[in-house]
Structure 1
């Protein structure tokens, strides 16, 4: 089963999060944006990611 794309939400001002939803539209996974971006800079991915799945690997170019 393929994962849904990440969606950026801001439940309240100053709290931006990336979420994934399950087949029924419920939030399956949630990650704070600043933590996600800071970890991404520190690591080189082994995989190439599709648009909307930036946490699953690096992007082309």
Structure 2
């Protein structure tokens, strides 16, 4: 199972979704606006659990 997406804001107005590996380091970093737009464009085949919105239907 992959880790949940975590919302961080390194500087004011710059929000990002990140996933962490087992050691707590950033594994994947995605800008929020682009991520939400991509989620809406995709037609997924599977339901996603909470926190995994980029990996299936919601």
Structure 2 distance, partners of 1:49, 1:7, is 15
Counterpart of 1:45?
A: 44
Q: What is the TM-score normalised by the length of structure 2? A: 0.93
1:5-20 to 2 correspondences below 5 Å: 5-20=4-19
The structure with the greater share of residues assigned to strand is 2
Which residues of structure 1 form unaligned runs of 5+?
none
What does the per-residue CA deviation read over 1:1-59, in whole Å, with 9 as the maximum and x for residues that have no partner?
x1100000000011100000000101110000000011111121111100000000112
Off by >2 Å, runs of 4+ in structure 1:
none
Gaps of 5+ in 2: none
Deviates further, 36-45 or 47-56: 36-45
